[in-house]
A and B are shown apart, each in its own frame.
Chain A
Amino acid sequence: MIQTLALIVSSTLVYSGPLIFTALGGVFSERSGIVNVGLEGIMVMGAFGSVIFNLFNADTFGAWTPWLGLLIGGLVGILFSLVHAVATVHLRADHIISGTVLNLVAPSLGVFLTRELFAGKGQTDMIAESFGYANIPLLSQIPVIGDIFFKSTSLPAYVGILSAFVVAFIIYRTAFGLRLRSVGEHPQAADTLGINVYLMRYIGVLLSGFFGGVGGAVLAQSISLNFSVSTIAGQGFMAMAAMIFGKWNPVGAMGAALFFGFAQSLAVVGSQIPLISSIPSVYLQIAPYIITIIVLVSFVGRSQGPAANGTTYVKSK
């Protein structure tokens, strides 16, 4: 029983890690008023960056490679999201069209660069240093609870959970967070008070690029272990749904991401869990997507995001 529970918990954490980071990225962007459908594409580029870094530097950094890979993934995400920021803030592009362009270009760009780096091959080799499973010191010593939650578990997911609280503090308890939110709620008013609307929106989008890139890097280095065109399969959109389900609140988004991670993990470990193993695999495969839709319909309803979300702000002269 404990073993089954531990299996469910650890695989849930593995699959929710990428969603938590990416959903936090979504919170930053949308709180500043920029809808970011491009999270999926940002994850692709983050995954690509981290895998390339990992392949070429595993000898140098050893076990630290995947953690540094997260940073690289985040940096690649920032660079990539800059396109979205310029398009939506300065070039007044439709947010959804611009985000979709990110999603269109990322897999092609990733595969193109992979072909350049690996003599025409469309996918990379497997990485040598991945996140794997780790015990958390001290906490894993607790009887029962330690066995279920803290033994052979996913460290990046715990970092993600902690990050959610940090992000919540930043957004609700700091001057920066207040400015970010005011720009997403009423840019004209914020502008009148001397807040640089364009700058805040750039920061919001670039932060979403960082977190989305980290999310992609977590996924690539703990689940797929290489980069190919199908490394990221809808997780960016799932993270977006988690953000909406969490009502644009970092902690809520994290909770929703855990739930979606649980749904995703069922398709993978379901065959090892007594009751679920009798269900045909196709139902488990479509379950996370169907659950996302059901959640959006039944729990969220007409929940409102930031008031100026998705609008272009044009500073009057």
Chain B
Amino acid sequence: MTQSKWQSLLVPVLSVIVGLLFGAVIMLLFGYNPVDGYQALLEGALGTPFNIGQTLRAATPLIFTGLGFAVAYTAGFFNIGLAGQALFGWLVSVWVGLAMLDSPKWLVLPLAILAGALAGALWAAIPGILKAYFDTSEVIVTIMLNYVAVYIADYLIRNVLTDRADATPFVGANASLRTEWLTELTNGSTMHAGFFLALLFAVIAYIFINRTTFGFELKAVGLNKDAAEYAGMNVKRNIIIAMVISGALAGLGGVMNGLGEFQNIFLTNGVAPAIGFNGMAVALLGLLNPFGVVLAAILFGGLMTGGNIMPLTAGIPSEIVDIVIAAIIFFVGANYIITFFLNRRKVRSAVDNEDVIQQGGQEG
């Protein structure tokens, strides 16, 4: 047991290393110096208090979308719609902030955050209901809803929130997640209090999945729907609720963009927010464990923050970071390649316990 636990931790660590090596090979192939590249990346991510602040700020929405993916995946639901759900959370939170410019902060901020979570939850409920009652492929439905969300958001920004402008005005200080001490501590970075909210939600998610009856039911449904049904669990309800929670978390991820980083919302130009797919990557790298999600999100936040600086300091296109991220997820997904080599060593040393049990079972 302890060995398999150690082994499962090895998968993400080795995946990150191999992914970075893969990025280095690409850089070499195109005539860049990978040492310069990664040095620029590291400096950009952690070099100064400002950069550290930016890294943690970039990690904040990813923690939320990562947790969202993990909760849905626990119930066997592949939520690729995080981007659309986050976009609606972002839009609605900014909308509430702009509508209540004169109200006190204790009222506006919680209300805007809640409204954003609700928007994400409702948008995610659609594929949840369709999956539960019609067994419709959630992969296609959530992707389609991403595009719908993009067009609706662009329409609302141009025609309802503004008079044909490309971006809304900024929300007031009464709806902002930024705090003076965090900004000062990090030399004027856009880090905001949402980071601590994200950590809090990681703890809540951990307790929810591992220590409540409800989390147990979600896991049961995810592992075997039919067995869960036979054991008397309401599978349909569980799938829908898992999606609603997942969407609420993704919506909160969008709120972090709206009330934390940007303080407004602007036209998407047909591309859903990147925190959606990156959240999925973070969840897979974090092995769907809430604390793993936090660590993976901080790593990705650093990669993205540093990656933005790479073109300026090392002349390397920032897309290389996206390629590294995709490579990392590839190796996490194809972890058989890692376990294969580990198991070969094990088999050579002793007969595997599992084999004995299997053989015994077959003979009896």
Write the chain B residue with the least CB distance to A300: B136
Query: Which residues of B line the A interface, CB within 8 A?
Result: 30, 78, 80, 130, 134-137, 139-141, 143-148, 151-152, 154-155, 269-271, 277, 280-281, 284, 317, 319-320, 322-323, 325-327, 329-330, 332-337
Contact between B80 and A100, CB atoms less than 8 A apart: yes
> Given A237-B144, A289-B148, are A296 and B326 neighbors across the interface (CB < 8 Å)?
no
Contact between B140 and A233, CB atoms less than 8 A apart: no
Query: Which residues of A line the B interface, CB within 8 A?
Result: 37, 83, 87, 91-94, 96-98, 100-101, 103-105, 107-109, 111-112, 115-116, 120, 229-230, 233-234, 237-238, 240-241, 244, 282, 285-286, 289-290, 292-293, 296-297, 300-302
Contact between A292 and B144, CB atoms less than 8 A apart: yes
A293 partner residues in chain B, CB cutoff 8 A: 130, 136, 140-141, 144-145
Closest 10 pairs (CB-CB, A-B): A108-B322, A105-B326, A97-B333, A91-B334, A112-B319, A282-B155, A93-B334, A92-B336, A104-B326, A289-B144
CA distance A98 to B336 in the complex (A): 13
- Give the Cβ gap from B87 to chain A, nearest Cβ, in Å: 14
Contact between B134 and A301, CB atoms less than 8 A apart: yes
Contact between B329 and A97, CB atoms less than 8 A apart: yes
A37 partner residues in chain B, CB cutoff 8 A: 139
CA distance A83 to B337 in the complex (A): 14
The prevalent SS among residues of A at the interface is helix
CA distance A285 to B150 in the complex (A): 10
B271 partner residues in chain A, CB cutoff 8 A: 229-230
* Among B270, B280, B327, contact of A230 (Cβ-Cβ < 8 Å): B270
CA distance A43 to B138 in the complex (A): 21
Contact between B147 and A234, CB atoms less than 8 A apart: yes
Beyond the given A111-B319, A296-B130, could you list 5 further A-B residue pairs with CB under 8 A, ordered by the A residue number? A94-B333, A115-B319, A233-B147, A293-B140, A296-B140
A101 partner residues in chain B, CB cutoff 8 A: 326, 329-330, 333
CA distance A286 to B140 in the complex (A): 15
Contact between A98 and B333, CB atoms less than 8 A apart: yes
A116 partner residues in chain B, CB cutoff 8 A: 30, 317
Contact between B140 and A109, CB atoms less than 8 A apart: no
- Give the Cβ gap from B107 to chain A, nearest Cβ, in Å: 32
B143 partner residues in chain A, CB cutoff 8 A: 234, 237
Contact between A105 and B322, CB atoms less than 8 A apart: yes
- Give the Cβ gap from B342 to chain A, nearest Cβ, in Å: 14
- Give the Cβ gap from B82 to chain A, nearest Cβ, in Å: 12
A297 partner residues in chain B, CB cutoff 8 A: 130, 134, 136
Write the chain B residue with the least CB distance to A303: B135
